[in-house]
Homo-oligomer: A and B are copies of this chain.
Amino acid sequence: MKQGNRYGLHRVLEPVGTMPQPAWRIDNTMEIYSNEILLDVETLNIDSASFVQIKEAEGGNPERIGEHMKRIVAERGKHHNPVTGSGGMLIGTVRAVGEELAGRIDLKPGDRIATLVSLSLTPLTIDEITHMDVKTGQVDIKGQAILFESGLYAKLPGEIPDRVALAVLDVCGAPAQTEKLVQQGDTVVVLGAGGKSGTMVLCQARKSAGPNGTIIAVEYGEAGCDRLRGLGWADVVLNLDCTKPVDVLQAVEQATGGRMADVTINCVNIPNTEMASILSTRDEGTVYFFSMATSFTAAALGAEGVGKDVKMIIGNGYTKGHAEMSLNLLRESAQLREVFESKYQ
């Protein structure tokens, strides 16, 4: 067995010299190097921004969505959506552990894991699509994948159903960052609060801000808003389109008596919501962009354009302990668990 680079550089095909994530194409030959892990894939969890884009491009037709996904993987060696730039993650069973890693890590053949690195850098093959859930973006396949030495993963917790764990782990960076950013007493605005990451963020924000904090949930559609009101974590639930910054500005102004948010967390899965995030936030407050549909220039120039001195953070999908932290949030909150189980089982 040959030894590969810790970060998977040996699999980059083009452009030469880049890393696997930004690379256009990587080598998805399913023969492992001595420091790689081979997985039999069961389920792909396509990133929400990416799945929405593919679904729209294919008019919602499951078969055509599947063909589209296969085309991406055939062309790039990974499920890296060229339009949105994002990936997702997967559940699989360990098939083989390279000889250099065997014994040094806590994985052995037969273990079931979720990958915690993006599909946008994971060598992948799809032999067959066996089931497609157009509502959730969870896609069962026959295929294989490879994890590099630096690749993050989580063993699937036995007591939480797989699909639920997959959904939670996909977005686990968001509640973990919320825990870091939100202080007792803060006013927090969560955009896209009814989605997967939004719901977890809302739950954590309530916990972190405490009883003296003010939590404002923004979600589009009356049904989603009603569900959020039922959960009771938000002090105010606003039914608004986050691509309409002025509407959001006015509503948040009213809800906060003009003070605006200390921390705004963007969990929306569509483009053009940067300005709503910026305008919702007070001067010297923080905007956390978890949404992969965020445009760097729209955020940077948008804030400058309205003379808003806000700190804007790029949603790093990883922070230490994020997987365990998110699964614990689910274990703690029967309500949160119910939301995920009703959606993903």
Contact = CB atoms under 8 A, between A and B. Distances in A.
A117 B173 CA distance: 33
A91 interface: no
Interface in A243-295: 243-246, 272, 274-275, 289, 292, 294-295
A17 B247 CA distance: 9
Nearest to A294: B296
A305 to B, nearest CB: 4
Tallying the copies of this chain within the complex gives 2
A84 B296 CA distance: 10
A292 B302 contact: no
Secondary structure class of chain A's binding surface, majority of residues: loop
Contacts of A310: 316
A307 B152 contact: yes
A314 B312 contact: yes
Contacts of A289: 296, 314
A123 to B, nearest CB: 12
Interface of A: 7, 9, 17-22, 84-87, 116-118, 120-121, 150-152, 173, 243-246, 272, 274-275, 289, 292, 294-320
8 contacts: A7-B306, A18-B243, A18-B275, A19-B302, A120-B297, A294-B296, A303-B317, A308-B316
